[in-house]
Structure 1
Amino acid sequence: MTRESLAVVLEEIALLLELKNENPFKIRAYRQGAESVRNHDGDIVQLAIDNQLKGIKGIGDALQDKLHELALTEKLEFHQNLRAEFPQGLFELFDLQGLGPKKIKVLYETLGVGSVAELKATCDSGKVAELPGFGTKTQSKILEAIAQRETFADTFLLGGITPLVTEMLDTLRLHPEISRVMAAGSFRRAKETVHDLDFLVATKETALVCEDFTTLPQVESIIACGETKASVRLKNGIQCDLRAVSNAQFPFALQYFTGSKEHNVALRSLALKQGFSLNEYDFTAVANVTIPNNIHEERDIYQALGLEFIEPELRENRGEIEAATERTLPRLIELGHLRGTFHNHTTASDGIHTLTEMADEAIELGLQYLGIADHSKSMVVANGLDAERLIAQIDSINQLNQTFTHFRLFAGSEVDILKDGSLDFEDSVLAQLDYCVASVHSSFNLSEEEMTRRICRAMENPYVTMLGHLTGRLLLKRDGYAVNHATIIDCAAATGTIIELNCNPQRLDMDWRWWKRARDKGVLCSINPDAHSTMGLHFLGIGVRLARKGWLRKQDVFNTRSTADVEKFLKTPKLKRHDH
């Protein structure tokens, strides 16, 4: 039983209770319990086994008893009984974009839909369109979501699998026969989605380590296990390979299996020009040259080729080798550089934690400031704030700021960009905020030209500080709406508008492929978690990884600035901020 397993069971219980129309406070308690399990710094599994969870925020007596039973026996009778009330395949429906518990409940109770396959057949027959509150438009969207799910089968979110990878690495490091261990592949390069996992270990006992790897608690089934490689399927469905090599081979194997393929091809070509070949095991001379023999770390390989060390996130053959040759690689941002963050929600709109709870978590994470940006009034589905409620929230933030000594809350709003590019609040309201995040939440089907013009008009507003989730994409669920990235970046540069790197694992938007262009145009990035809970603030780590992948440095990211510098920036009229 792992930390993630405990959290997943609590989240499943919350979903099942929603299907049963249980008390919303009870449902929220299970969701908060899952957050607490993921957030707790100590060995939460051992504490649960020992029944020592009392006092941990978000875990009451009832949850403590359930977590104790779950950790001790690896099953929970209450959870199993709930699951038995519904078909096993019903859980697949929660993965579909646009389907929440209420709609799933109607589909199940009215049409007997208990799996994605049954839902597709029911949509194909036209029966879903006949249901009250559904219609042909909803039916078409469900079919699109099913097709999207099939397209992204066996693909996983970087942020979703990071806790799993961390757990597995921690376990492998404890193995007495393993001297070095790393995750490689697209996970190490911080690709936003990952198809499989690659682990690399240095050991003298390759066969033993491979065999032990197949017994990890995260493993569902064994695909193959040999002398130097083991392949398994994990319980979450992802394939995972472990390669065991000698300590001398480790740097070469790590470089090779990190990739990307295109980066490695270019690197091998460079090596050949210098008279030796590079593979996953070593350097080999192909001409009358001296082979480098002092390769102990991965960076030694790059040094031997006359290159600056290229960070894993940059290895996509997008100019990094040329920059490394010229010694012009950027010094990439690090998580420790962040001083605060913006675009965070509270219970005032659709968040699950209060203003005070969000502030407490930010302080716990070592942040110096936190921006609160709840939804604006057009987001009725998210309990968006009207002007009166927003002004009241500003007052609450000002009062709370009086209680802090080395921390500050900034009062903001995530304001809807309406179809014509105007904003959901009048300028007179926006002027009372410290900052404003402008985002699109409706009319996704505009043409690229119309959507680009809509967003640019919003950025021209003097009170729009930053642009939220530029394309509105939800990775593995829906593509972003059509926009012209280049035009929007140019407009951001011209208007002095910051562009957000929304680091919710389902968004990671603006896409990393565009950040170098934005940086070169002088556009600032703000790494924002779009947090709807205290746990959401922990997405900042994923955001930094994607910012690094986008070639961003500390000075390119707005929220690396001190509180005083942020205050000065926000008080300066928008078009005069270039000097700050």
Structure 2
Amino acid sequence: MDKKDIASILKDISVLLDLKGENPFKSKAYVNAARIIETVDIDLEQAVRDGTLDTIKGIGKGLAEKITEIILTGESAYYKELKSSFPEELLQLLDIPGLGPKKVKVLYEQLGIKTIGELEYACQENRLIGLPGFGQKSQTNILQGIEHLKKYRSRFLYPVALENAHLIMEYLRDDPKIGKIEVAGSLRRKMETVKDIDLLVSTKYPEEVSDKIAKFQQVETVIAKGDTKTSITLDSGINADLRVVTAEQFPYALHHFTGSKEHNTAMRARAKKSGYKMNEYGLFKEEKLVPCRDETAIFIELGLDYIPPELRENLGEIEAAEQKNLPVLIEEKDISGIFHVHTTFSDGSNTLEELVKACQQKGWKYIGISDHSKTAAYAGGLSIDQIYAQHESIDRLNSNNKKFQIFKGIESDILTNGDLDYPDNILEKFDFIIASVHSNFRMSKKDMTDRIIKALNNPHTTMLGHPTGRLLLSREAYELDMEEVLETAAAMNVMIEINSHPYRLDLDWREVIKAKDKGIMLSVNPDAHNIEGLDDFRYGVGIARKGWLSRDQILNCMDIQTCTTLLKRRKIQ
């Protein structure tokens, strides 16, 4: 083991001691020892053999023993013991500029933050502003530091990839040499996370288009460049493949580069069975190209209705298209209002009045306010007095505007024992209650399932919020028997939200399909903490589409009267 590795372990020990709140002189001794080890001009292994390690200035007997153990075994029992006291990912927070051990300790102890993703999510919910040693400026700086780190991830959230794809498309779109340009791949299928960006361009000038994309201002590296494909890395860290085809080839290529591997295999098998040959260059019958002006024509030629990109996963969509049994998928314009919105009463950035105005400007007819409940003290959870004050404000606004409805809600913590966060006489005052897990994620599968099942059986629970607790690219879903949860939700007529926050997208679209089949009503909720967050509903619509949902299966596609009736039906059940 070289000096650099030994010094690294000593520095980590110093950090871990700070995180534990040990005497600062003790942690400083390890930092000093690390510096000495890095710079001392002696053979450390020889010093161990000679027993002279503790004669080095700054290296006492205790430190000498620990360094000796590292040199002889390559490990440190003390280091392992300290590391076992904290989640493995916690030290990664120290990679963020401006975050030292003391601040990480506060984040861990007061907010339970263990990963970079959890920290970013907390910043977006303004949870750091009230912490000792933090403020608006430090929260903003942390978010900027996280953005820098994200450049080196291997996968990217859907909105991040989409934004980068749009930048490229805007750059290319006005070029007269380019005919059509479309997003393809997993991004077009609206997967929650993507590895890279696939773009398809039609042109008569492939070489010139390839040269142009290589000169895009946001390109950091040109990986490969040719007449049919150019691969680049953007300065955001994400890779993009630009495929260049003729106008005639475009429909076939778009279909080929959109579908999942499984969907494309099934489509080729169907084509072959019907006497066709199918690939990215065309659909051929007896070696002759079958002219198709768009993807719809390709599907029709193979005896199928058009299959929307989001469904092309080989999960029964081809059979449904053959039987003319595909659903009419929800569209963004179908959304009539929004639920799960936080205000300045808890951890939101905008007032109730500001959020109502923003919703009206979007053409929506209602909003469901759901600030945090009292147990979520870290998020400004509402006391009973604050609930009364908020309800008075809502009543006043509703009385002054008969064309827009504000529903009174709360995002109630599901406590460890499955209870909700207020007594019955308070819970009954709300129009709706979103029950969510916000703590104790590491319960056993049975205990977590029992916890949520009890909440679903509570007559006050209207819908289950972010059902699996996952944070994409950061925190795995907690262990849960989702089949039992869905069965109970269906039996108790409890709705389930599709949390549209790009870090959650929870319920997972695969489970959305199961919920749909059980007749469960779902709600596309932005979990918004500011006006900008209202627009996250779009990502939830994408997940709803992947889950085969039509507008009649989604609560907030209903008008005010129908919505009111559905919420009351649950309360009187």
TM range (shorter): 0.7 to 0.9
Aligned-partner residue type, residue 550 of structure 1: G
User: Match for 1:428 among 420, 425, 429?
Assistant: 425
Structure 1 residues 445 and 276: alpha-carbon distance in aligned structure 2, compared to 1, 3 A threshold: same
Q: TM-score normalized by structure 1?
A: 0.74
CA contact (8 A) 1:473 1:479 kept: yes
Partner of 2:342: 345
- Superposition deviation, residue 213 in structure 1: 1.3
- How far is the alpha carbon of 1:308 from its aligned partner? 1.1
Q: For 1:544 and 1:176, how far apart are their aligned partners in 2?
A: 33
1:504-515 matches, within 5 Å, as 504-515=501-512
Q: What is the DSSP-based 3-state SS (H/G/I as helix, E as strand, rest coil) of the residue aligned with 1:242?
A: strand
Matches within 5 A, 1:125-524: 126=82, 134=105, 153-285=153-285, 293-524=290-521
Q: CA deviation at 1:304?
A: 0.8
Counterparts in 2 of 1:496 and 1:334: CA distance versus 1, 3 Å: same
CA shift in 2, pair 1:434/1:312, >3 Å: same
Distance in 1, Cα, partners of 2:387 & 2:80:
45
Structure 2 unaligned runs (5+)? 1-20, 32-75, 87-100, 120-148
Post-superposition offset of 1:142:
8.4
Q: Is the 8 A contact 1:475 1:507 kept in 2?
A: yes
**Separation in structure 1 between the aligned mates of residue 467 and residue 444 of structure 2, nearest angstrom:** 15
Match of 1:35 in 2: none
**TM-score (norm. length: structure 2):** 0.75
SS at match of 1:474: coil
Q: Distance in 1 between matches of 2:571 and 2:476?
A: 32
Deviations 1:489-512 (A, max 9, x none): 110100010000001000000100
Please list the CA deviations of residues 468-507 of structure 1 after superposition, one character each: whole Å capped at 9, or x if unmatched: 0001100001101111111111101000100000010000
Q: Does 1:531 align with 2:512?
A: no
The one-letter amino acid of 2:173's match is R
Identify if the C-alpha distance between structure 1 residues 205 and 348 changes in structure 2 by more than 3 Å, giving closer, same or farther: same
CA distance in 2 between counterparts of 1:573 and 1:127 reads 48
Q: Which amino acid counterpart does residue 170 of structure 1 have in structure 2? A: E
CA distance in 1, matches of 2:533, 2:301: 42
Question: Counterparts of 2:264 and 2:303 in 1: how far apart (Å)?
Answer: 15
Other-structure match for 2:90: none
Contact 2:161 2:197 in 1 (8 A): no
1:189–1:315 CA contact under 8 A, matched in 2: yes
Distance 2:551 2:153 in 1: 36
Q: 1:493 is paired with a residue of what secondary structure?
A: helix
- Matching residue's letter, 2:312: R
Which secondary structure does the structure 2 equivalent of 1:308 belong to? coil
Aligned-residue offset at 1:325: 1.5
Q: Separation in 2 of the partners of 1:142 and 1:527?
A: 27
2:453 counterpart SS class:
helix
Q: Secondary structure at the match of 1:464?
A: coil
Taking structure 1 as reference, are residues 486 and 127 closer, same or farther at Cα in structure 2, changes over 3 Å only? closer
Which ranges in structure 1 are unaligned for 5 or more consecutive residues?
1-102, 113-120
Residue 540 to residue 241, structure 1, CA distance change in 2 (3 Å): same
Contact 1:496 1:574 (C-alpha < 8 Å) held by counterparts:
no
Letter in 2 for 1:421: G
Contact 1:466 1:497 in 2 (8 A): yes
Please, which moves more after superposition, 175-184 or 159-168? 159-168
TM-fit CA distance, 1:427: 1.4
Note if contact 1:128-1:134 (Cα within 8 Å) is conserved in structure 2: no
Q: Distance in 1 between matches of 2:113 and 2:510?
A: 30
Percent sequence identity is 42
Partner of 2:221, secondary structure, is: strand
CA contact (8 A) 2:494 2:570 kept: no
| Cα distance in 1 between the residues matched to 2:340 and 2:262 | 36
Segment of structure 1 superposing worse, 359-368 or 486-495: 359-368
Stretches of 4+ moved more than 6 A in 1? Answer: 109-112, 121-125, 127-133, 141-146
Offset at residue 290 of structure 1 (A) = 8.6
CA contact (8 A) 2:257 2:280 kept: yes
Equivalent pairs, count: 456
Deviation at 1:437, TM superposition (A): 0.4
Counterpart amino acid of residue 255 in structure 1: H
Change (3 A) 1:450 1:142: closer
RMSD: 3.0
